[in-house]
Structure 1
């Protein structure tokens, strides 16, 4: 029988975690309601002051940071980084750096390494800030860095690649270090498609903004819905103009209330006046909502759903996404091709503009990061035949076959790099490349002396031509593909 005992220190740590997770003020512990609750739930608990809670938060941070630094020091796997930058309304530049890695138990982790102000978002300044952060964490084995498509990031990645080369950890000379954020590219593609019906989107956006500007207008709009006995649980939401997914959600919600906008306009003439006098950043007047606008909104909402789902799939952080990167590019190519051939002229024109933006980033495969293709090959549902098929389908026979050869070469070189690292770590030679047993290369402290005869036997088989010359990569590619199913988890498969 377990006897529960009150633990003051454990309760304090749990309180700190609650404050951090729920983003509460440090002064929360001094609120009367909280103190009364604790006095009833556990009178023995001595509630710390806001100053003590602040100190406890810092102590917990340093404790967790020490654990993560120890993990990076004791483990040899590489990490993938993602960066996020923005400028606040106070004109302060910020950088957020996140690490993604798989631990020894094959679990995917996401850890925020730094969130800090930077002097500017220029390439050199960003490289310096990221380098300082990595030095602070004792982290030098970086596999890829995902950034948005700002041209300044090209400079950032070049400088970081040079730094990793100085540290002696730049795998393959950093050729695959720079990864362009796929979600950001999709956003740019859709933004180009929105230009055709941009005026309709602007009018809906401003109508939603006008209603949401005051609680009284929101209540009046809800009254219009209740009069028509609309039980829709959805509410109006305002988008961020530069984020296509938020625009999709805004249009999806707005088109369900189309008739209610008309009713609201009859009750509040200020809506029409607001739309007529509002001038956008490009100098255009928004104008009144028309039936054509709602037709465009319905068309765009249906059209946009594919890209909304695609963005969600490739922007997840709790599961691996790199293996489906090229797969989703191929799907997007097929979708745009079908839309271009659509009988609807407006839809076709919209798709053509999107295809032009698609080609800017993914129309020249020789300029793409080769790891995009390799990741797909390492998905046992696809492997190399699938990648080769899509390359030929998207880029034609000549360019496709050239890319197939380049991917094969790059993948073989990458495999050799890892094989050399593994052989060096084990202190033995790789028999797929060596025909003689070099005793000086063997670390006798790391292997049992009784296994030397086995090494001699392997050398004999290699020299006699009886040894299987296939590498582990060759054997993997030669096996049957895994069957596609919704429960498939690539990390568990490789485990």
Structure 2
């Protein structure tokens, strides 16, 4: 049996408080001990010393010693080049040097970007596959190690973002939501996302700056404290332009507290905006309750065909023989009105096939007959739902401005609802319910939407004013008590846009007062426009940041 070689310098051992007295010859497993010396320490104990990193380990732990050199866990071995054919870098110019720390860093980034569990690489077969085919010196990365690496990356990114926001000289818009965990879990969470425009490139940017467990109760004060701490942490005290919430009253209470503390521009006119997609959802859900009976009858008709495997198969066969379109069912889901719209749309696409097949089943006494008027009701309702569906999809965009599109989409929805209301019952009842919900939230159109529409070159100031008047007319806001509601709303919009204009000119425009006055008079005077305001604006779903040029 081979014995381990003794080093000339026996007083090595900086990594331990004990001193090496001598190296003891050993005939233990040469495969392992060819990498170690058996050292007698000053305290009388014996330890194994690695030849490569000079670290000390228990002499009896053969499995630990083996893993130290075979994984390898030895830091010195990790840095050594493996003999044989050299590898080239991706650019084909430089020699590739294996760096295990870089591997861990890339793994952590991969897990974060793909939302993978920390134990994704925690598999022995994966480790062996990489070692045998890609890199022999690769070592297993445990979930605990991966978790630590991910947290390091997160902390680093957080510090970089804080530093970036501290230097940022434009407005930042926030969106926030609170929700409960699914599957009966009592936990709740709160998330805050920041939206802004990169000044150098004019690109829309967004980052999730807070995601944490949010203990009950979800009061306005509790929400205020969380968001206030988030704003302070990221140095956004003087940069928050607007905050978007859903329609819960506790959110409104939190916004009032934030207004008092941070004193946003224009007396907070633009500070709070409600999620438009959420308002659309509330309006449509109320409207669908009116036709609940008709909807359930329609679903029973569909279930009589699709819920029975034998009938479903026969239906598919019948459609194929007739050369007609055959689509599967798309059942509606509670709290997702779009699913109801999709269910109606898919059924209408194969209307003739469904009518013929269902009439055949009814003639044989296998189901109840479905009256043809039911199809007319579903088709009329679907035409309205499609407009709301399109608006929801348009206003839920992420990679393009959406606030400037709210007025136009709101007008289209109001127009379609009014078309439905003249068709008699149950359509008029459904339309009245939906209009009432829209009136509740849009009686006072948020300034962030009206001014964004004015800064949109497709509408400009006159187009935005015209849309405001038309929406007031469609929603019947011009009443006997307020006969000129549309005109008043338009005047309020002009005043809000003027104040916003003053803020931006003061901050970014010329300091010459006479030029400032001339621009304001030309842009907002009642007479003819003497100059053209060409606006480049980038607006997200919660606010806007603009730069104005004059010709």
TM-score by length of 1: 0.73
Residues 1:300 and 1:337: Cα distance change in structure 2 (over 3 Å): closer
Give, in whole Å, the separation in 1 of the partners of 2:485 and 2:156.
53
Give, in whole Å, the separation in 2 of the partners of 1:208 and 1:47.
54
CA contact (8 A) 1:209 1:238 kept: no
What do residues 233-264 of structure 1 show as CA deviations (whole Å, max 9, x unaligned)?
8544444322222332244345667767978x
SS at match of 1:114: strand
CA contact (8 A) 2:305 2:315 kept: no
1:203 deviates by: 5.8
Which among 236, 244, 254 is matched to residue 337 of structure 2?
244
Give the structure 2 partner of residue 66 of structure 1: 159
Residues 1:302 and 1:419: Cα distance change in structure 2 (over 3 Å): closer
Which stretch shifts more, 409-418 or 379-388? 409-418
Residues 1:352 and 1:232: Cα distance change in structure 2 (over 3 Å): same
Which among 519, 524, 532 is matched to residue 471 of structure 1?
519
Give, in whole Å, the separation in 2 of the partners of 1:479 and 1:409.
19
1:422 deviates by: 4.2
In the alignment, structure 1 residue 408 sits paired with structure 2 residue 494? yes
Which among 194, 198, 203 is matched to residue 107 of structure 1?
203
In the alignment, structure 1 residue 134 sits paired with structure 2 residue 231? yes
Q: How does 1:348-427 map to 2 (within 5 A)?
A: 348-362=428-442, 364=443, 367-395=444-472, 398-422=484-508
Which among 182, 187, 212 is matched to residue 116 of structure 1?
212
Give, in whole Å, the separation in 2 of the partners of 1:238 and 1:159.
43
1:145 deviates by: 0.9
Give the structure 2 partner of residue 2 of structure 1: 93
In the alignment, structure 1 residue 194 sits paired with structure 2 residue 288? yes
Give the structure 1 partner of residue 249 of structure 2: 151
What do residues 401-428 of structure 1 show as CA deviations (whole Å, max 9, x unaligned)?
22232222222222222333448xxxxx
Give the structure 2 partner of residue 23 of structure 1: 115
CA contact (8 A) 2:417 2:431 kept: yes
Residues 1:67 and 1:21: Cα distance change in structure 2 (over 3 Å): same
CA contact (8 A) 1:383 1:481 kept: no
Give the structure 2 partner of residue 435 of structure 1: none
CA contact (8 A) 1:93 1:121 kept: no
1:117 deviates by: 2.5
1:188 deviates by: 1.2
Give the structure 2 partner of residue 84 of structure 1: 177
Give, in whole Å, the separation in 2 of the partners of 1:163 and 1:137.
16
Give, in whole Å, the separation in 1 of the partners of 2:495 and 2:114.
50
What do residues 417-448 of structure 1 show as CA deviations (whole Å, max 9, x unaligned)?
2333448xxxxx8221xxxxxxxxxxxxxxxx
CA contact (8 A) 2:316 2:326 kept: no
CA contact (8 A) 2:326 2:350 kept: no
In the alignment, structure 1 residue 316 sits paired with structure 2 residue 392? no
In the alignment, structure 1 residue 13 sits paired with structure 2 residue 105? yes
Give the structure 2 partner of residue 338 of structure 1: 419
Give, in whole Å, the separation in 2 of the partners of 1:349 and 1:378.
37
Give, in whole Å, the separation in 2 of the partners of 1:375 and 1:331.
18
Which stretch shifts more, 183-192 or 400-409? 400-409
Give the structure 1 partner of residue 190 of structure 2: 95
Give, in whole Å, the separation in 1 of the partners of 2:250 and 2:299.
31
Give, in whole Å, the separation in 2 of the partners of 1:400 and 1:81.
30
Give, in whole Å, the separation in 2 of the partners of 1:19 and 1:473.
56
SS at match of 2:259: helix
What do residues 217-247 of structure 1 show as CA deviations (whole Å, max 9, x unaligned)?
7976764554335596854444432222233
Q: How does 1:198-213 map to 2 (within 5 A)?
A: 198-202=292-296
Give, in whole Å, the separation in 2 of the partners of 1:4 and 1:202.
69
Give, in whole Å, the separation in 2 of the partners of 1:73 and 1:8.
35
Which stretch shifts more, 467-476 or 100-109? 467-476
TM-score by length of 2: 0.66
Q: How big is the alpha-carbon RMSD for the aligned residues of Structure 1 and Structure 2? A: 3.8
Which among 54, 73, 76 is matched to residue 147 of structure 2?
54
1:78 deviates by: 1.5
SS at match of 2:176: strand
CA contact (8 A) 1:203 1:288 kept: no
SS at match of 2:512: coil
